Amino acid sequence: MEEALLIKFKQNAIFRLEEGQRMIHLAFAKVGEDSLWKLPVKNGMALGNQLLHVRGNMTQYVLASLGQEADQRQRDSEFSTTEGYSKAELLQQLDTTVSRAIKTIQTTSPSEYLRIRKVQGFEFSGVGVVLHAVEHFSYHVGQVAFWVKQLTEADLGFYDHHDLTQIND
């Protein structure tokens, strides 16, 4: 039972990461290069910073903590960068990070999902690390969607091919 539960947890975490990745691609398709570093408000985050930040967080939590790679995150630069990346570069880097995170989530042993470790001064099990990374990513996907809608006044079409009015079984 516990093994089946971990398998389902991994599958659902991966689904959420892939959904967020899909939504970011749809949102970024609506904006040009000139929108990447515009701030929504004085203390807000530009679209480029959003992608740098989610990559940094996912790298620190999933790849470094769960995957036991070296933690080389430069968190401050995720927020202070104001140029130097194209839309294509940001999306490619995001895709690479999400793919690597998914592989780590899939291949990590059950014992690593139970082991407690410190990340950013917090103590998490491997389950907690993945839960944080997925939740954090989803939070920023929402921010990206909101800002792109503000910039374009366009529907992003996240669920154009789904009937969301279906009643639960």
Per-residue pLDDT tens digits for 20-36: 999 999 999 999 999 99
| Contact criterion met (CB below 8 Å) for 132 and 61 | yes
104 burial level (CB within 10 Å; 0-12, 13-18, 19+): buried
Domains of the chain as residue ranges with CATH: 2-152 (1.20.120.450)
Confidence of residue 76 (pLDDT cuts 50, 70, 90): confident
Tokens standing for residue 92: 């490619």
**Average pLDDT estimate for 45-71:** 96
Burial-class residue 84 by CB neighbours within 10 Å (0-12, 13-18, 19+). exposed
Looking at residue 27, its amino acid is: A
What is the per-residue pLDDT across 111-155, written as a single tens digit (0 to 9) for each?
999 999 999 999 999 999 999 999 999 999 999 999 999 999 999
pLDDT level of residue 162 (50, 70, 90 thresholds): confident
pLDDT score of 1:
55
Residue 161's pLDDT band (boundaries 50, 70, 90)? confident
pTM for the whole structure: 0.94
